[in-house]
Amino acid sequence: MKRLIAFLLTFIMSISLLAGVTLADDRPVLTIGDIDPDRDYDNQRIWRLVEDRLGCKIQFIPLPTDTYAAVLASGDLPDIVHPNNNLSAILEADLSAYLALQMNCLSDIARKLNEPEAAEYWKQKSAALIDKMIARLWNGTRFVPRLCRTQEEIGDTESILLYLPLVLGNLLPAEIADKMIEEMKKHHLTACGLASESPESPKYNPDGYWRGPIWAPTTYLIVDGLKRMGRVEDAREIALRFCGMCTEKAHGFYENYDALTGIGLRTPGYTWTASAFLCMVWEFCS
């Protein structure tokens, strides 16, 4: 239960504005932003449970209208602005996929807490976001990013990010998942694992940050999604190539790896790489 509560709070803070923590009546007050200040939190058992576990009082305040929560409530897709690019806000399917997955998790939590109305609410929100993501960003072969301002497709990329909606597992329609897996394996899967930029791309750089090397986090996210949708052999193939690269070619856990040679790049002794390696060994190699 403690891990469930921790995940719940992580989700809240990922789509809300954490305004601060203050002291009142000898208990800390956790102030969380929400787009609906009239929501009846006092009668929702889940929030009382959070307060009891954390020993605090939760206070809700109205959120600005440009937060993810407000965007989702408006029926639109959430967008992202990355500080490393010079583009305007971008619609990317991976962000919607993460949020839909978290909504589905909230539905599971509510069900475990015997809150059927909340469980159904989050299940429907998750399904609606996935449907809108498909309608806006699926082009029949893969998900494509678009500029928010013009809705123009950003077509000059062969990034592995285009395939991260596979994290949805069995929440993703099978016909879409099958096409994505086919294209991903064709363009990104090397003898060492999943290249972050297709080696066929003119933008591929063997030591470019997210422009070619293999990274552990994206590898495990995709492997886990494949496993949850029943594509276990595809997941195993990618996991075994990654683990073999770490042990037989790089001989260590680096920040990232050359996608074609398997040579370790950047910082050695990276804990997220070691953690992903251990998870994949445990799940597929034992």
pLDDT tens digits, residue range 231-251? 999 999 999 999 999 999 999
Environment class of 145 (CB within 10 Å of its CB; exposed 0-12, middle 13-18, buried 19+):
buried
Cβ partners under 8 Å of residue 168, min gap 6:
97, 100, 101, 130, 225, 229
Give CA torsion, residues 65, 72, 181, 184, to 10 deg: -10
Phi-psi region of 277 (alpha: psi -120 to 50; beta: other; left: phi over 0): alpha
pTM of the model: 0.76
Residue 48: which pLDDT band, with cuts at 50, 70 and 90? confident
Cα–Cα distance, 169 to 229 (Å, whole number): 4
* DSSP β-ladder status, 27-34 and 57-62: parallel
Q: Which letter, b or e, does each residue of 195-213 get, where b requires 16 or more Cβ atoms within 10 Å of its Cβ?
A: bbbbeebeebebeeeebbb
Which residue, among 218, 235, 217, has the nearest Cα to 226 in the 3D structure?
235
pLDDT exceeds cutoff 50 at 265: yes
Residue 147: which pLDDT band, with cuts at 50, 70 and 90? confident
What integer pLDDT is reported at residue 8 of this predicted model?
44
Q: Among 32-41, 110-119, 222-231, which is the least confidently predicted range?
A: 32-41
Whether 246 and 252 have beta carbons less than 8 Å apart is answered as: yes
Which residue, among 104, 105, 184, has the nearest Cα to 143 in the 3D structure?
184
